[in-house]
């Protein structure tokens, strides 16, 4: 089963490889992606560093409800979508970022996969909404009725070996983010997640934190963080984070 999935990823990678450099470059990039996909089945990933500042547990002290963590400022590679249908669009976002770490960057450098893959969904800013409405004016009446009001940003943490000199992306839809130091409250669960699961998990964290009298938390948006390949079936790690104000 795993080998079949890897082969499908390899074929998709070859099909999506940039053809501007010719068929040989397309094949080379496709095999780079296939190799990365195969190795990801067995790799131990480098994880974005953080320190646990505080742990909140149940009254019996046996179960962690959530943690307060500090993440130092680090570089992440990101891509942003303006779309209300995040579940389907996230596949395209992931492949753009996967392309970056497998050679779609200046120098064609292969960068190891890391964890977590983070995604945050936010309302559009006033400027972004104005741009979106302006674009809608040029579309059909049917499209105007499907106006988008949210965006989401997916990011991969850039490993320590490439933090100082992260190669610039060659895909204009991908960019390097200098994520500042941030403090978050984070809860964790296992299993496979869909959009509804992520929202329910975030709602529970908000309820738990409110019940604990947590202050200074921005509940307007949340990060979802995934740590595992789809081919990992057990002991999966999924987290949601809310950022605490400085």
Residue 55 to residue 68: CA distance in whole angstroms:
6
The counts of H helices and E strands in the chain are: 6, 11
Buried b (16+ CB within 10 A) or exposed e, 171-204: eeebbbeebeebbbbbbeeeeebeeeebeebbee
Q: Does domain 46-125+149-244 have CATH number 1.20.140.10?
A: no
Q: How many CB atoms lie within 10 A of CB 126?
A: 8
Q: Measuring CA to CA, how many Å separate 164 from each of 95, 128, 158, 239?
A: 24, 31, 10, 27
Q: What angle do CA 212, 224, 117 make, to 5 degrees?
A: 140
> Helix, strand, coil % (nearest 5) of the chain?
35, 30, 35
Locate 67 and state its tokens: 């943690």
3-state DSSP assignment of residue 224 = strand
Residue 236 to residue 221: CA distance in whole angstroms:
23
pLDDT at 187: 98
Consecutive sets of 10 residues in the chain, 246 residues long: mean pLDDT of each?
36 42 48 49 82 96 96 97 66 94 96 96 71 57 53 95 97 98 98 95 98 96 94 93 91
pLDDT at 82: 81
pLDDT at 138: 53
pLDDT at 81: 86
Nearest alpha-carbon partner for 65 in 207, 187, 201, 184: 187
pLDDT at 43: 61
Residue 138 to residue 202: CA distance in whole angstroms:
36
2-16 and 23-40 helices, crossing angle to 10°: 150
Longest dimension (CA), the chain: 63
Q: Backbone phi, then psi, for 138, in 5-degree steps?
A: -90, -5
């Amino acid at each position: 089963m795993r080998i079949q999935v890897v082969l499908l990823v390899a074929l998709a990678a070859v099909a999506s490889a940039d053809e501007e450099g010719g068929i040989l470059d397309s094949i080379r990039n496709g095999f780079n992606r296939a190799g990365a996909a195969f190795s990801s089945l067995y790799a131990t990933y480098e994880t974005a560093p953080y320190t646990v500042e505080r742990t909140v547990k149940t009254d019996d002290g046996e179960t962690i409800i959530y943690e307060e963590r500090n993440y130092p400022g680090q570089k992440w590679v990101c891509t942003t979508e303006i779309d209300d249908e995040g579940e389907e669009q996230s596949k395209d976002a992931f492949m753009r970022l996967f392309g970056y770490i497998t050679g779609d960057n200046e120098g064609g450098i292969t960068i190891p996969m890391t964890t977590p893959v983070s995604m945050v969904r936010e309302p559009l800013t006033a400027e972004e909404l104005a741009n979106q409405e302006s674009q809608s004016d040029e579309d059909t009446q049917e499209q105007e009725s499907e106006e988008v009001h949210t965006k989401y940003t997916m990011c991969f943490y850039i490993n320590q070996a490439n933090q100082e000199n992260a190669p610039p992306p060659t895909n204009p839809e991908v960019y390097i983010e200098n994520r500042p130091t941030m403090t978050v409250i984070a809860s964790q669960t296992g299993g496979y997640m869909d959009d509804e699961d992520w929202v329910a998990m975030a709602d529970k964290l908000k309820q738990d934190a409110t019940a604990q009298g947590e202050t200074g938390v921005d509940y307007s948006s949340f990060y979802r963080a995934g740590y595992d390949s789809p081919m990992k079936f057990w002991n999966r790690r999924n987290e949601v984070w809310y950022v605490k104000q400085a």
